[in-house]
Structure 1
Amino acid sequence: MKKIYYIVLFFMVAPFLFSACNDEWTEEQYEHFVSFKAPLNDLGVSPIYVSYKTDEVSNYKLPVIVSGSTPNPDDISVKVALDPDTLEALNYERFQNRTDLYYQQLTDSYFTMPSSVNIKAGEDVALLNIDFNFENIDLADKWILPLTIVDDTENGAYTPHPRKHYKRALLRVMPFNDYSGAYGAANLKTYIKGSENGAPIVKSNIQLYVVDDHTVFFYAGMVDEDRMDRHNYKVYAEFDQETGEVRLSSDNPDMEFQSYSTPTFIVDEQMDVTRPYLLKRTTIVEGIDFSFKDYSTSDVVDFEFTVRGQIAMERRINTQIPDEDQAIEW
C-alpha cells in the first residue's frame, strides 16, 4: 500500500517538476555580459601567433563574446580601445623596477583595427579584425597589444563583463615564419674559447625570433631575453631555400662575431601515426660553429665563447584547419 502511495504521489507532482525544468531554459540564468576570448597564460598575457608577411598585412581575428544561457536579443556595437593602464600595472606587478623586462605597448605603426565590432541579434560571437604590419619590428622587445571593452554609458546597449580579465585582453604579439620558434638545443654546446675539449655549457632550448620571411635571430651563447643588454647579442640566421644553407651574421662589431662554417638545414615532414590528420614538420639546423665576445657581463674582463652543434624544432600542424596560425599546435 505504501508503495502504491508513492507512485501516485510521483505522477501528481511530475508535471510541475518537468514544467519548472523547461522554464529554466526559457529564462536567462546569467547575464548578457560582453567579453574577449583571450585567456591568460602563467605570465599574465595572451600569446597570439600571427604569420609574418612581407609587403602585406597579416590578419588576426579576436573573438568578442556575449555570455548568457539565452541568445543575444539585440544588435549591439561594442566599443574597443587601447588599455595602457592595465599594461602598466602588469609590468610593475611582475617586474617591479626591472624596466628592461617590461612589455612594450605595440605602436600604431604595426597595427590597425576598428574602434568597434558589431554583434548581430541572435548571435553570441563576433570577430574583431586586427591587421598587423611587422616590417622592421624588433622582437628583442616584448610587444603587447592591450585592449579593453569600453562601457556603453550613453546608450546602455551592453555591459562589459565585471571581471577585469574578461573585459580586457593583453595580446602578446608573436609573429612567426617557417623557421622561427622554440628549438631543442641539447646538442648546441657553448665553450669558453680555447677550452673546446672541456665541459660545455648547454641550454635545453633556444628561441628563434622573426626578422623577415626567411631570416630569424637568436641570442648568442647563454644570453636570453632576461638579459638587460640582450639587444647587443643577436645572431641573425638567413635560411636559403634553394641551397639549404643558413648564413649566420651579426650587426654588432663589438661582439666580434665570427662564423667558421656555413650551417645547413633540412625539413622533414611526416604524418602522425595515431592522428593521421596531424603533420609533423621537423626543421634541423646542423654544422653551427661560431665564436663571439661577451664584453658587457664584467667591467674587468671580456669573455670569449665558441658555439658548436645543431638545433631542431618540431611543429605539429592540423591539416584539417585552413588558417595557418590556428592549425599549428603552439
Structure 2
Amino acid sequence: MGTLIFNLNMMKMMKYRLLFLYILGMTVAACNNDLPDELFVKRVVIAENGFQDLRLEYPEDGTVNTQITISISGTSVLSKDVEAQVKVCPDTLDDYNYERFVQDTMLYYTLLPEDCYTLENEGKVTIKKGDEYALLSVQFDLSRLDMFKDYVLPLEVSSVSDYEVGEPKYRKALFHLNILNNFSYVYTPSGAKVYNSGDNDDYTAWTTDLTLSTLNYNTCRMYAGGVYETDTDRDKYVIQVTVNSDSTLSYTAMTPEINLMAEGDASQNRISISESPDLLVQNKSVITTTLKMNYSYTYTSPEGYPYHRRFEGTFTNDRTVFRDKDGNIREEW
C-alpha cells in the first residue's frame, strides 16, 4: 500500500514538472517572437578606430597599398546597400597633438601631405546588402615623404546614405605611418667600441642599442656611434646607411664636414640575414639580422675641439615570425 501511494505522488510531481516546463517554453517562445530584428541603432564606423600604427613595407618604387575596414554595427542582416564617405579630418590630429603633447610642438605628429596618398574612389565606399563591412583602399607614395618627419593620416566617416554615422570615437582614426624596410630595426651591440684617437688602446665600450630608421627601400639613417639620441648636437652626426646589392654597407654623412669614411675591408661593413625554423611549432621561425660596421668621422667636443673618432662593432636583431602556406610573413614580434 505504501509503495502505491509513493508511486502516485511521484506521478503527480512529474505532471507538475511537465506542466511547468510547457508554460516556461511557451513564455520564452512568446518573448522571442516579440523581439525586434534590430536591437541597436545601425551605425557606420571605422573598424580600426583611435590611434593606430599602420605598418608599411617600403617597396622599390615607393608605392604601397593598404586597406581600411569600414563596418556597420547592429544585430540584423543589412537589408540594402549603404554608401559611406570617408574623408581626411586634420582637426582630429590637431586635437590629439595638443592633448598629448600640449605645447611641446617638436613632438607633434605631421599631417600626411595630400600628394602622398590617394583614397580609392575619392573616399566613397559601399557596404553591400548582407555584408557587415567594406574595404577602402589607400595608396601611399612613400618616395614623396620627408622621412625625418613622423606622419599621421587622420580619417573619419563623414556621411552615410542610410542609417547613422558612428560616434566620433568610433568613426575617426589616426593612422600613424610606421614605415619599414628589410633592416630598419633596433639592434643589440656586441663588442662595439668607440675609439677616441688613433690609439687602438684608447676606446670606450659601446652598449647602447643601435636604431636604424627607414629612408627608402635600401637605406636607413642612424646617429654615428658614440653619439646619443639625447645629445643636443646629434643632428650633426646623422649617417645614412645603404645596403648594396652585394650586402656590403655604404655610409653617407648628412653633414659633410664630419669627414665620414668606411674603415677596414668589405667583411667589416656588411649585412647578413639568416632564418632558423622552430623545431616544435610549424611555420614559426626566428630571423636574425647582423650588421658589421667599421667607420670613422670627425667629432667636435662640446668645448669645440675636433678629433678623429672610429666606431667598430657587430649588431644583431632577432625577430620571431610566422609564415602562411605561401611563405609570406603573416605575423611578427
Structure 1: distance between partners of 2:159 and 2:253: 48
Against the structure 1 CA distance between its residues 212 and 321, is the aligned structure 2 distance closer, same or farther, given a 3 Å change threshold? farther
Note the residue ranges of structure 2 that are not aligned, 5 or more in a row. 1-8
Cα deviation, residue 13, structure 1? 1.3
Structure 1: distance between partners of 2:310 and 2:68: 44
| Secondary structure in structure 2 of the residue aligned to 1:94 | helix
Structure 2: distance between partners of 1:285 and 1:63: 38
Aligned to 1:28: 38
TM alignment of 1:202-217, pairs within 5 A:
202-203=207-208, 205-217=209-221
Q: 1:97 aligns with which of 91, 96, 103?
A: 103
Do the aligned partners of 1:143 and 1:172 also contact (CA within 8 Å) in 2?
A: yes
Structure 2: distance between partners of 1:294 and 1:82: 45
TM alignment of 1:16-165, pairs within 5 A:
16-18=27-29, 20-21=31-32, 27-40=37-50, 45-55=51-61, 57-113=63-119, 114-152=122-160, 157-162=162-167, 164-165=168-169
Against the structure 1 CA distance between its residues 120 and 301, is the aligned structure 2 distance closer, same or farther, given a 3 Å change threshold? same
CA deviations over 1:27-69 (Å, ceiling 9, x no partner): 22223211112255xxxx3111122223362101111111122
Cα deviation, residue 168, structure 1? 0.8
| Secondary structure in structure 1 of the residue aligned to 2:98 | helix
Against the structure 1 CA distance between its residues 188 and 122, is the aligned structure 2 distance closer, same or farther, given a 3 Å change threshold? farther
Q: RMSD between aligned alpha carbons? A: 3.1
| Amino-acid identity (%) | 20
The residue type paired with residue 121 of structure 1 is K
Q: Does 1:167 align with 2:155?
A: no
Against the structure 1 CA distance between its residues 56 and 256, is the aligned structure 2 distance closer, same or farther, given a 3 Å change threshold? closer
The residue type paired with residue 140 of structure 2 is F
Against the structure 1 CA distance between its residues 108 and 55, is the aligned structure 2 distance closer, same or farther, given a 3 Å change threshold? same
Q: Does 1:11 align with 2:22?
A: yes
Structure 1: distance between partners of 2:231 and 2:133: 41
The residue type paired with residue 98 of structure 1 is D
Cα deviation, residue 246, structure 1? 1.2
Q: 2:286 aligns with which of 277, 280, 284?
A: 280
Structure 2: distance between partners of 1:189 and 1:129: 44
How many residues align? The count is: 313
Q: Which moved more, 1:307-316 or 1:59-68?
A: 307-316
Give the greater-gyration-radius structure (CA). Answer: 2
Cα deviation, residue 278, structure 1? 2.6
TM-score, normalization: structure 2?
0.81
Aligned to 2:250: 247
Do the aligned partners of 2:73 and 2:132 also contact (CA within 8 Å) in 1?
A: yes
Do the aligned partners of 1:52 and 1:58 also contact (CA within 8 Å) in 2?
A: yes
| Secondary structure in structure 1 of the residue aligned to 2:39 | coil
Q: 1:308 aligns with which of 308, 312, 318?
A: 312
| Secondary structure in structure 1 of the residue aligned to 2:143 | coil
Cα deviation, residue 198, structure 1? 5.9
Note the residue ranges of structure 1 that are not aligned, 5 or more in a row. none
Do the aligned partners of 1:288 and 1:308 also contact (CA within 8 Å) in 2?
A: yes
Do the aligned partners of 1:257 and 1:293 also contact (CA within 8 Å) in 2?
A: no
